[in-house]
Amino acid sequence: MAKVLMYTTGVCPYCQMASRLLEQKGVPVEKVRVDEQPERRREMVERARGATTVPQIFIGDRHIGGYRELAQLDVRGELDPLLGL
């Protein structure tokens, strides 16, 4: 199973939807709360090629983007193979 990292905040509805989708697939998600660890926001922006919104989701080393991109991968049947399911 691929490692999933998600930069998130405590009040982001898209972050919650992304978490739910991944949890339904049984995938553990490492979450970095940039609202609680503001020093990690710079890391997120650099890794996400300038993106400043949350969530920013990574599967392995691949930058997926936000919830919409994650959901689109799922609809196209491309998410499970990325996750190693």
Per-residue pLDDT tens over the stretch 38-83: 999 999 999 999 999 999 999 999 999 999 999 999 999 999 999 9
Give me the pLDDT at residue 48, please: 96
Residues 79 and 70 sit within 8 Å (Cβ to Cβ): yes
Give me the pLDDT at residue 17, please: 98
Name every residue whose Cβ is closer than 8 Å to that of residue 70 and which is 6 or more positions away in sequence.
18, 21, 22, 57, 64, 79
At 3, phi and psi to the nearest 5? -80, 135
Classify domain 4-83 by CATH architecture: 3-Layer(aba) Sandwich (3.40)
- The ranges assigned to domains in the chain are 4-83
pTM above 0.75, yes or no: yes
Confidence of residue 1 (pLDDT cuts 50, 70, 90): confident
